[in-house]
DNA sequence: GTCTATAGGAGGATAGAC
DNA sequence: GTCTATCCTCCTATAGAC
């Protein structure tokens, strides 16, 4: 991910990566091995460290210390720091994507013939992630903060796009049906604003505590959701009413 | 900004920094010296590099190469990489803050006795920065992307807070007056959502191009603003109508 | 799968000549 | 103010023993 030597390193990886699938088959039925707990420890530690200090702000040394494993193991299991990041993201993104699609399916089912309401669509998008946060799961908390960072860093847009764009297009399509009078451009921009508002909640930087002198808390997901859904829904509806 | 040796380095700086004000007095009337253009080159190069790769993703070597000046000069003029970042931010934040406050004053003046409309307040906040972006100024573009990144990185919230919180509190107060029925909590959350929506525009990651397959463009500030103001205004109004 | 050891270089910062 | 030269720490990645 460094600018220098990027080409050289890419060439090295192109030689090395194809050998990775030779590791014990994951997903196939097999007894759990020792390496699995190592992999997990590294993933969890990386998730937490990346979220706190950013990808480039953390060394593999720090990560393996937090994980309580040897430095060399991260390259054995993940091949490179870049790929470690990729797997950290992919692990949870997959889960959220499936939950969101499922929630949207249910909303469609309940709406019968017509399109679900804006509120229902927005809720189907927000709840799968935010409910996990309000359950206090630290891992999801770190993942959310990490996603928030990668979302605004140009050099990572490729990575996050691969993982998040399918969900985006799915919900953009749902919004288009729910807002038939909105221009396509307004729908795309509206989706961006939706993401932006949500990111302010899930990035949980502590800024709202400082601004409100403790009146609001970053961790109060219920309180945030209670404002976020009406805010986004009304905003999107306004775009649907717009002359153009 | 490294975790290790932070204490030791801080001690060193505490000895060194007080000597910095002995440099030629800035602001006082004096002929422009050679060092000024060096300072400027470094600030501009740092702004661009930080925005592209993040604070920790860029070395001082890269920055000074881009600036076309010697590596040692960054420490002579700025003392440390941390402080360089601080000055990069402060330079433009000051300008935007003043413009925003002035724009809000004008809106208040036009609204006469009553509070300005939500649209007027939101516009007073957004236009000072977004108009500069639509003028195509590359420096402002980099600054905006940098602010977007720091906004979601926990370890920088102290830095950005010092610079941006005064503006925030100023506009939060204006929103409170414009939305008398909204709870204080809703106002704070609403402000966060406002920021989040705006960040999606100013971070200009190119995501909207990819999602819309070129139909929308990150650089189309006018188009974004045309949707952003109605979106945020309607969202905030919904919070003002909320039962609680 | 895990460890030790190390390659090989990039990092921020600085002393001291000019 | 600017430049050269360098300190020393830290980095990612890997080779090879176990």
pLDDT tens digits along A199-220: 999 999 999 999 999 999 999 9
Over residues B152-166, mean pLDDT: 94
B6 touches chain A (CB under 8 A): no
- Cβ atoms of residues B118 and B238 within 8 Å: no
Domain residue ranges in chain B: 21-79, 89-244
Return the nearest residue to C5, CA–C1': A72
CA distances from residue A205 to A142, A211, B25, B149 in whole angstroms, order as listed = 11, 12, 37, 12
User: Does residue B34 carry a pLDDT above 90?
Assistant: no
CA distance B171 to B127: 14
Collect all residues of chain A within an 8 Å Cβ-Cβ radius of residue B189. Answer: 208, 216, 223-224, 227-228, 231
pLDDT of residue A21: 39
Tell me, which fold does domain B89-244 have in CATH?
Answer: Tetracycline Repressor; domain 2 (1.10.357)
Whether A92 shows a pLDDT value over 70: the answer reads yes
Question: Is pLDDT of A243 > 90?
Answer: no
Per residue in B69-107, pLDDT (tens digit) is 999 999 999 999 999 999 999 999 999 999 999 999 999
Angle at B113 between CA B108 and CA B114, to 5 degrees: 75
pLDDT of residue B32: 66
Asked if domains B21-79 and B89-244 share a fold, the reply is no
DSSP character at residue B59 = -
Candidates B233, B235, B242: best to mutate against A (most CBs of A within 10 A) is B235
How far, in Å, CA of A151 to CA of A202, rounded? 12
* pLDDT reading at B29 higher than 50: no
Distance from the Cα of B235 to chain A's closest Cα (Å) equals 4
| Interchain contact, B211 vs A168, CB within 8 Å | yes
Return the half-sphere exposure (C-beta side, CA atoms, 13 A cut-off) of residue A231.
31
CA neighbor of A189 nearest in space, from A155, A226, A115, A240: A240
Burial class (CB in 10 A: 0-12, 13-18, 19+), B26: exposed
Kindly report, residue by residue over B141-152, the tens digit of the pLDDT.
Answer: 999 999 999 999
Q: How confident is the model at residue B113 (pLDDT cuts 50, 70, 90)?
A: confident
What mean pLDDT do residues A100-110 have? 97
Tell me which CATH homologous superfamily contains domain A21-79.
Homeodomain-like (1.10.10.60)
Q: Is the CB of B59 under 7 A from strand C?
A: yes
Residues of chain A in contact with residue B51, where contact means CB-CB under 8 angstroms, are: 154
């Amino acid at each position: 991910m460094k600018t220098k030597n990027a080409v050289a390193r890419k060439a090295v990886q192109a030689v090395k990566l194809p050998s990775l699938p030779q590791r014990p088959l994951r997903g196939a039925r097999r007894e759990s091995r020792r390496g699995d707990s190592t992999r997990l420890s590294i993933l969890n530690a990386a998730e937490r460290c990346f979220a706190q200090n950013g990808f480039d702000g953390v060394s593999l040394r720090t990560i393996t210390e937090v994980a309580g494993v040897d430095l060399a193991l991260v390259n054995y299991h993940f091949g490179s720091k870049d790929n470690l990041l990729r797997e950290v993201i992919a692990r949870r993104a997959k889960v959220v994507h499936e939950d969101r699609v499922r929630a949207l399916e249910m909303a469609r089912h309940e709406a019968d013939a017509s399109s679900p309401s804006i509120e229902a669509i927005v809720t189907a998008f927000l709840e799968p992630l935010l409910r996990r946060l309000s359950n206090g799961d630290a891992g999801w908390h770190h993942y959310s903060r990490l996603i928030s960072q990668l979302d605004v860093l140009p050099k990572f847009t490729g990575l996050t796009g691969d993982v998040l764009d399918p969900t985006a297009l799915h919900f953009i399509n749902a919004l288009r049906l729910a807002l038939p009078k909105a221009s396509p451009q307004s729908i795309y921009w509206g989706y961006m604003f939706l993401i932006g508002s949500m990111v302010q909640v899930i990035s949980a930087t502590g800024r709202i505590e400082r601004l409100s002198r403790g009146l609001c808390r970053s961790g109060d997901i219920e309180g945030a959701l209670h404002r976020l859904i009406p805010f986004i829904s009304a905003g999107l509806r306004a775009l649907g009413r717009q002359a153009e």
